[in-house]
């Protein structure tokens, strides 16, 4: 069993990539986000810091703590894999899970990670558009406040927070099993992107048709009552690959907002190869 985890900041295309990968008939179908699993990993992550103060009352060292935690994490993965037998690969995704990819690497063998990169101007513009749905759901009040006030600095920090734990990881073995996937390349050059995904993941995606709706999804948000629909779903969900959202920030953000994003995300721009178009104010 190979475990594949899809991550990236909110509004970067993680759902699209998840849907593409699940076209391999030897994987589980597209299922709901693995947010519960992210909570499990967050407990392990926080416990490593707590151990420095009180952990030796319960564990010999951090290695002992990791060995204790492994069965908890593995039990969830094995249980999920059994639900979708005879799948040979389990694909799970959650933006929140991205923050714990290095922790997950410590605990589970035979894992691979795919991290979505997207122009932060487009990602933040998309967040602003779906913000009204999030407000109606009364979820994540901190993010709602950022969106209501259009706090670009805070939204930039929110966006980058998904990547920082992985960026801080200096394990060569971790990066050997991790690949960045640029959203723009995925939607503008899907054939080349699919070939690269197959080479890294070992999946067979020959059945994927970029012009058709996803064929192996357990979820149909169009038929769910609005109160149950994820706040992040859009009209593009489940549809063919589209380039409509690339560069759309120009229609949504002001020049001032763009300047702030380019200034606050300058390190991310350098990492991902995005080009700033405006000069940030001093």
> In this structure, is residue 225 part of a structural domain?
yes
> In this structure, is residue 281 part of a structural domain?
no
Return the closest-CA partner of residue 274 out of 116, 115, 119, 117.
Answer: 119
> In this structure, is residue 249 part of a structural domain?
yes
State the pLDDT at residue 110.
93
CATH code of 264's domain:
3.40.50.300
With tokens 């407000």, the residue in question is 135
Please give the structure tokens belonging to residue 89.
């690969």
Q: What are the pLDDT tens digits along the chain (282 aa)?
A: 899 999 999 999 999 999 999 999 999 998 889 999 999 999 999 999 888 888 788 899 999 999 999 999 999 999 999 999 999 999 999 999 999 999 999 999 999 999 999 999 999 999 888 776 666 656 677 887 888 888 999 999 999 999 999 999 999 999 999 999 999 999 999 999 999 999 999 999 988 888 775 666 666 555 554 544 555 556 556 667 889 899 999 999 999 999 999 999 999 999 999 999 765 444
> In this structure, is residue 180 part of a structural domain?
yes
> In this structure, is residue 226 part of a structural domain?
yes
User: What distance lies between CA 41 and its chain's CA centroid?
Assistant: 15
Q: pTM for the complete prediction? A: 0.90
> In this structure, is residue 278 part of a structural domain?
no
- Does residue 111 have a cis bond before it (omega within 30 degrees)? no
Return the closest-CA partner of residue 9 out of 120, 146, 175.
Answer: 120
Query: Could you give the number of structural domains in the chain?
Result: 1
Cα gap 64→265, rounded to integer Å = 38
> In this structure, is residue 35 part of a structural domain?
yes
Cα gap 153→159, rounded to integer Å = 10
Domain that includes residue 19, residue range = 2-272
Please give the structure tokens belonging to residue 137.
């759901």
> In this structure, is residue 40 part of a structural domain?
yes
């Amino acid at each position: 069993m190979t475990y594949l985890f899809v991550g990236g900041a909110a509004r970067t295309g993680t759902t699209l990539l998840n849907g593409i990968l699940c076209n391999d008939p030897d994987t589980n179908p597209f299922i709901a986000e693995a947010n519960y699993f992210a909570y499990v990993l967050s407990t392990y992550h926080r416990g490593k810091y707590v151990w420095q103060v009180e952990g030796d009352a319960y564990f010999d060292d951090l290695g002992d703590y990791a060995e204790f935690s492994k069965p908890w994490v593995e039990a969830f993965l094995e249980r999920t894999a059994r639900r979708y037998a005879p799948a040979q690969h389990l694909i799970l995704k959650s933006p929140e899970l991205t923050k714990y990819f290095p922790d997950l690497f410590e605990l589970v063998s035979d894992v691979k990670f795919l991290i979505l990169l997207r122009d932060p101007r487009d990602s933040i513009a998309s967040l602003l558009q779906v913000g009204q749905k999030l407000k109606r759901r009364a979820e994540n009040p901190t993010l709602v406040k950022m969106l209501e006030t259009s706090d670009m600095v805070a939204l930039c920090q929110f966006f980058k927070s998904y990547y920082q734990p992985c960026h801080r990881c200096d394990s060569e073995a971790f990066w050997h099993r991790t690949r960045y996937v640029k959203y723009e390349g995925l939607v503008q050059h899907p054939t080349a992107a699919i070939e690269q995904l197959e080479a890294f993941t070992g999946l067979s995606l020959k059945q994927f048709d970029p012009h058709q709706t996803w064929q192996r999804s357990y979820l149909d948000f169009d038929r769910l009552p609005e109160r149950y629909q994820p706040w992040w779903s859009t009209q593009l969900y489940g549809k063919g690959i589209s380039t409509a959202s690339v560069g759309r920030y120009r229609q949504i953000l002001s020049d001032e907002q763009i300047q702030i994003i380019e200034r606050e995300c300058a390190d991310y721009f350098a990492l991902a190869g995005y080009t700033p178009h405006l000069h940030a104010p001093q």
